[in-house]
Structures are given as structure tokens and as C-alpha cells.
Amino acid sequence: MHSKKQMFLLLPLLLLLTAACLPQPTLRSELFLDDRSLITGEPCGAPCWNGITPGETLWPDALDVIENDETFSGLDTNSEGGFVQAAWQKAGSGQFCCRIIADDENSPVSFLFLALSPDIIVDEVLDVYGEPQYVTTFRFTDEEAVIQLVYPDIPMAVSVLVGTPDASLLANSEVVAVLYMSPEEMSLILDTSELQAWEGYQPYLTYEESTPVVTPRVTLTPRPEE
């Protein structure tokens, strides 16, 4: 059974899309966030977004940023699962795109997740950040397989839609999401996850079937429900 942290590179996508109102769940949607800051570094560069930096920005300050931005709507907060989280939409979209998570209301944001409209390709990411150190894979549906590019030093994971599982990662494969996190959370993920080495543009199945170069070093004890 996977722990919460072991699955966290995948969970934000599932959490957002489970709550979505799309007729058919998909990782590729124009209703998601229109944002190229991952590439432009404006108004701040990864792992900062709109002035929110995981590990630094306090939860109340992050909420203020979101609430005061007229391009966002539908802010929804809750404290289920033993941590606090907030999700919001691109104004007028009716579709949740983004989420922040923190241990509690007095702590810094620990995770910042953005589901992006298809306007960034892999080659742009590599031009800005270089090659990722690790990758991980998952199949969202039979038609949507994803390779996530993991950059421990930033720290972030970039989700790339490959297509069907028999397709390949290409220079023009579309980025559909980015997950920024605090350095502490990235360290914990590296200690509790299986990750494959980056081997360039390869078929999805090659990565899915490759031997992990990072394997769990510790086992997390599930947090009691509060």
C-alpha cells in the first residue's frame, strides 16, 4: 500500500480531476490555468509562483495572494486529512486548476500544484532548467500516459502528457502540470519513492519498465486522522 507521500507526485492530479465537472476526466484542457511562468520566470521563477514559494510563504499570505487576484475564482479551503489545502479556478472556467497544501494554518505552504492549459512543451523546460535528474510514470487513463520530470534541486516535478502508453516522450510533448514543493518535502519524497533515471527522449514503456535508481529508504507512518 502506498503512503500519502509516496503517491504525492500523482495525487494532486487525481484530487483536482476527481472534483472536476468535465464530462470526461482529462489532463489536457483549455480550462486549466493559462500560465507560462515556468518558462518566463515572471513574476518569479520556480519554485516560486505569483509570489508564493513552498517552504517560505506562510499559509495566510498565500491565501491573500489568491483571494486578491481577479483572474482566479472559486477558492475552496478545507482541513481534511490532517493538513490544510486550498483549491481554486481560472476565473470563468468552472474547473479547478490549482492547489496549495500546508501542515496547518500557521505553517508555510509545503506544496503548490498547477494544472496548465497546453502551452508549454518539454523542449522549453529543458532549455531553461536542463535535463531532469529523475522521472516517474503513471497512466491516468488508457489514452493518457504521463511522464513526470523530477528536479530535486529546484525542487519541482513537471508532468508531461505523452499520449497513449505505446507513444514516446518527444521534444514537443505537452506539459500539463507542475508541482512545486519545499526542499523538506522533496527530500522526503526521495526517501520514500521509486524513481527512474532520466535517459532522454524515450518510449513511455521504456521508462515504465526501467529499473528504479531511487528506491524507498524509509517507511512513513500514516498520520492519524484528526
* Residue 6 confidence (pLDDT): 44
Q: Residue 18 pLDDT more than 90? A: no
Task: Give the Cα separation of 30 and 45 in Å (integer).
Answer: 23
* Residue 38 confidence (pLDDT): 98
Residue-wise pLDDT tens digits, 45-93? 999 999 999 999 999 999 999 999 999 999 999 998 788 999 999 999 9
| 226's grid cell | 484528526
pLDDT average, residue stretch 96-108: 94
* Residue 2 confidence (pLDDT): 37
Nearest to 88 by CA among 105, 71, 106: 71
| 210's grid cell | 526501467
pTM over 0.85: yes
| 166's grid cell | 505505446
- Coil/strand/helix, residue 214: strand
